Amino acid sequence: MEPGRVEVVDLNFPGLVLQDGPGVNPANVGRQCPHGVILKVVSTNICGSDQHMVRGRTTAPPGLVLGHEITGEVIETGRDVEFVKAGDLVSVPFNIACGRCRSCKERKTGICLNVNPDRPGSAYGYVDMGGWVGGQAEYVMVPYADWNLLRFPDRDQAMAKILDLTMLSDIFPTGFHGCVTAGVGPGSTVYIAGAGPVGLAAAVSAFLLGAAVVIVGDLNTERLAQAASFGCATVDVSLGDIGSQIAEILGEPEVDCAVDAVGFEARGHAPDAAEAPAAVLNTVMEITRAGGSIGIPGLYVTGDPGAADDAAKVGSLSIRIGLGWARSHAFFTGQCPVMKYHRQLMMAILHDRVQIAKAVNAVPIPLGQASDGYRTFDAGAARKYVLDPHGLLGTTERSGRDDMAASRPVTRT
């Protein structure tokens, strides 16, 4: 509703036409979607990227319907939908992609050219992404359904693993993409900056890709403990030089590759340090070996009204590009192209090769408690809140509140 305030309100049932509303690009108003479907939302997650908007760190307008991590059941199909059927249980990539443009044909679905009149790339419920209505709701419309949706092969099997499968819409592929672009492979040593849900998903992904040692760095001790719970080494960046701490783990102060899972709201490496948006990028250059790669799934923006200086307000940061150049680093940025990975990761979940929900400490709560979930997550809870609009995950209003009351938030990073 405004910076610092999230509410659950009644809205009209979605249709297969993009209506005018908060954040909807004028060129998209009235857009017909006979290729779309209506989903009954089974699960929809609160994401750290949503928090940037809620904190007032973007140009998101009041009244924007949030939510880009969506899993649901198809209840209505448009005239032009051929292969997706009512009753299908599906995962929705957070990137909206047409399947027809040059980018989509090159598997770069994060920068589709046809869904956002302002620039390449789009997402549900997100600022400057075309105005497609978000899925933190009971029902949502998904365009280009045959192309975008990932259908789960068996409904009962999927519901038994739904807390894992709900991570396929964003954070699991995003963390995996960060590791793939960083060059993680068998025997790699990997540093992951940030122990939030994306950082933890990246850590799980690094192990899945065969890394020998995964080191997670953060200021938040609760989140570091969560990383350690599934085998990560950890670095508390407030305790001193990160390279020296890595040397205590590896015997040398460098790693083969690194992943920035923090993004533009990074802080300096001290308990009470001020915001320093280039801090993580500069750190990973210092501790990544010459010739190594750095995956950057952490979000960076072109408009940040809450930034500490005028340069950062337009996304201009004091990055030590000379250091990266001298060390021949490769940098990979941008939205994860979810469709490139989500089927393989689904199979890893369904066949018990990975337990992503346990790793990120997924906690389902009713939709009515969304504002509580936002507050607790923003305070630094080592949890990934999953909204349950229809009670299909077994949540109740009381049990969800008891769960959040038991959480002990610490300083966020």
- This prediction's pTM: 0.94
Segment 10-41, tens digit of pLDDT: 999 999 999 999 999 999 999 999 999 999 99
Percent of the chain past pLDDT 90, that is, above it, reads 89
Whole-angstrom distance, CA of residue 363 vs CA of residue 399: 11
Which residue reads 């995996």 in tokens? 176
253 within 8 A of 286, measured Cβ to Cβ: no
Query: What are the structure tokens assigned to 76, written together?
Result: 């209505």
298 within 8 A of 263, measured Cβ to Cβ: yes
Segment 139-162, tens digit of pLDDT: 999 999 999 999 999 999 999 999
| pLDDT, greater one: 53 or 308 | 53
306 within 8 A of 57, measured Cβ to Cβ: yes
Whole-angstrom distance, CA of residue 371 vs CA of residue 226: 23
Query: What are the structure tokens assigned to 257, written together?
Result: 């590759």
Report the chain's mean pLDDT, rounded to a whole number: 94
Segment 337-364, tens digit of pLDDT: 999 999 999 999 999 999 999 999 999 9
Residue 407 has pLDDT above 90, yes or no: no
Mean pLDDT of 378-395: 94
Whole-angstrom distance, CA of residue 327 vs CA of residue 171: 29
Query: Model confidence at 134, in pLDDT bands (50, 70, 90)?
Result: very high
Q: For the chain, give the number of residues.
A: 413
User: If you ran DSSP here, which 8-state letter would residue 105 be given?
Assistant: H
Whole-angstrom distance, CA of residue 103 vs CA of residue 101: 6
**Strand, coil or helix: what is 69?**
coil
Segment 66-122, tens digit of pLDDT: 999 999 999 999 999 999 999 999 999 999 999 999 999 999 999 999 999 999 999
Segment 174-232, tens digit of pLDDT: 999 999 999 999 999 999 999 999 999 999 999 999 999 999 999 999 999 999 999 99
> In order of start, what are the domains of the chain with their CATH numbers?
17-169+337-406 (3.90.180.10), 171-332 (3.40.50.720)
Mean pLDDT of 270-293: 91
According to the model, what pLDDT value does residue 268 have?
Answer: 83
Q: Please name the residues in contact with 363: beta carbons below 8 A apart, sequence gap of 6 or more.
A: 383, 384, 385, 386, 403
Geometric angle at alpha carbon 400, from 349 and 299, rounded to 5°: 55
Whole-angstrom distance, CA of residue 138 vs CA of residue 147: 23
349 within 8 A of 338, measured Cβ to Cβ: no
Whole-angstrom distance, CA of residue 134 vs CA of residue 67: 4
Residue 412 has pLDDT above 60, yes or no: no
**Strand, coil or helix: what is 213?**
strand
Residue 413 has pLDDT above 50, yes or no: no
281-to-9, 107, 261, 264 alpha-carbon distances in Å? 39, 26, 10, 10
Whole-angstrom distance, CA of residue 112 vs CA of residue 124: 13
How many DSSP H helices and E strands does the chain contain?
16, 15
